[in-house]
Structure 1
């Protein structure tokens, strides 16, 4: 049998374990959110984005109110798609391992993304959260697609999309 002081010691140990695990979990979650912000390169200037936008054949808008966007996964601003690059004058929610895709159909849910992924083109990495310019691979015709999507590869998370034609 365990006496009362032994039971109190076990309760304290369990409380310490639970509280430390909770703090560790919160710290890990904050680290995943904050680390990409800390290591992100400087975003392109508004002038750089405007220069790319001036060459754009297509334009679209990232909006916060898409079906699978939420308070941690969103994008907003004007997208410009030109012959050599895709540029955003705006912001996307910070996060790790963002990729830019072009799709032949508009996508606003993770299920649609997974369903259409074989028909999409993975353009490249999105490394900044305020404004971005992502070069198009050589020989890509953006007119073959109509939507740009920001997707988090690490967590298979939809961030945002913009229909540009």
Structure 2
């Protein structure tokens, strides 16, 4: 009986350590966040703005984001905070998304912008000839685990 208890406690410790590693490793290996200030951007350069929130339907204690996202004709900038995690991607969608099932249903219609490597700010280039008028939502998605992190409705800057 003691061996079974010992085995169970060791397996639980191993599993806990593995899960903690998945959470902490991205924090330890993240590069320095880019330096930029969206407040100094001329208004005519800003195409859309939005806000990530922890209040999305499929966001939870481990999968969330909050902060402001700014889209120009050639880049996407974020200032705020994302829950740390591996393999985050930024997508633009023509449909509002706030659940994993919605994401998976509409993924074929989405534009993958790029990898998110930092959790407080990011700056990603848009693919050339991106028609921003097609997209209404920005989504942060964990590709490895298929987890919804957060989303933001995008609006022209005068509508916010």
- The 1:52/1:137 distance shift into structure 2, 3 A limit, reads farther
- The CA distance in 2 between the partners of 1:162 and 1:143, in whole Å, is 15
Do 1:87 and 1:133's aligned partners in 2 also have CA atoms closer than 8 Å?
Answer: yes
**Aligned to 1:76, which of 56, 66, 72?**
66
Q: What are the within-5 Å matches in structure 2 for residues 60-139 of structure 1?
A: 60-139=50-129
- The 1:140/1:124 distance shift into structure 2, 3 A limit, reads same
Aligned to 2:149: 159
Question: Per-residue CA shift, 1:142-161, capped at 9, x if unaligned?
Answer: 22111100000000000000
- The CA distance in 1 between the partners of 2:119 and 2:133, in whole Å, is 25
- The 1:88/1:155 distance shift into structure 2, 3 A limit, reads same
- The CA distance in 2 between the partners of 1:41 and 1:52, in whole Å, is 24
Tell me the TM-score normalized by structure 2.
0.91
**Aligned to 2:38, which of 35, 38, 50?**
50
- The CA distance in 1 between the partners of 2:5 and 2:90, in whole Å, is 44
DSSP-derived class of the 1:122 partner = strand
Paired residues in the alignment total: 153
Q: What are the within-5 Å matches in structure 2 for residues 136-147 of structure 1?
A: 136-147=126-137
Structure exhibiting the larger radius of gyration computed from Cα positions: 1
Give, in angstroms, the shift of residue 49 of structure 1.
Answer: 3.9
Aligned-residue CA RMSD in angstroms?
A: 1.3
